[in-house]
Amino acid sequence: MNLKIKALMTSLLLFSFATMAGDFKVEKNIVFKAVGEKEIKLDLYTPTTNAEAKFPLLVWVHGGAWKRGSKDAIPEKNPLLLQSVLKAGYALASVDYRLSGEVDFPAPVQDINDALNYLNEHADRLNINADELVMMGRSAGGHLAGFIGATNSAYSKVNFYEPPKYQVLGVVSFFGPTDLLALGSKSGKKTSKKSSVSRFLGDIPSHIPEVARQASTTTYINENTPPYIQLHGTVDKRVPLSQSEILKARLDEYGIANQLFIEEGVGHSAPVFDTEKYVPHVMDFLTKYLPVQHH
Calculate the average pLDDT of the chain: 92
Percent of the chain with pLDDT over 90: 85
The structural domains of the chain, ordered by start, are: 23-289 (3.40.50.1820)
Q: What is the pLDDT of residue 12?
A: 55
Q: What is the pLDDT of residue 200?
A: 97
Q: Is the pLDDT of residue 13 over 60?
A: no
Q: What are the tens digits of pLDDT across the range 149-183? A: 999 999 999 999 999 999 999 999 999 999 999 99
Q: Is the pLDDT of residue 20 over 50?
A: no
Q: What are the tens digits of pLDDT across the range 69-117? A: 999 999 999 999 999 999 999 999 999 999 999 999 999 999 999 999 9
pLDDT category of residue 1 using cuts at 50, 70 and 90: low
pLDDT category of residue 293 using cuts at 50, 70 and 90: confident
Q: Is the pLDDT of residue 227 over 90?
A: yes
Q: What are the tens digits of pLDDT across the range 249-262? A: 999 999 999 999 99
Q: Is the pLDDT of residue 10 over 90?
A: no
pLDDT category of residue 295 using cuts at 50, 70 and 90: low
Q: What is the pLDDT of residue 21?
A: 47
Q: What is the pLDDT of residue 23?
A: 76
Q: Which of 28-32, 50-54, 225-229, 289-293 has the lowest mean pLDDT?
A: 50-54
Q: What are the tens digits of pLDDT across the range 186-217? A: 655 668 899 999 999 999 999 999 999 999 99
Q: Report the predicted TM-score, pTM, of the whole model to 2 decimal places.
A: 0.92
Q: What is the pLDDT of residue 147?
A: 98
Q: Is the pLDDT of residue 148 over 80?
A: yes
HEC string of 53-109 equals: CCEEEEEEECCCCCCCCCHHHHHHHCHHHHHHHHHHCCEEEEECCCCCCCCCCCHHH
- 27-51 mean pLDDT: 93
Q: What is the pLDDT of residue 87?
A: 95
Q: What is the pLDDT of residue 49?
A: 77
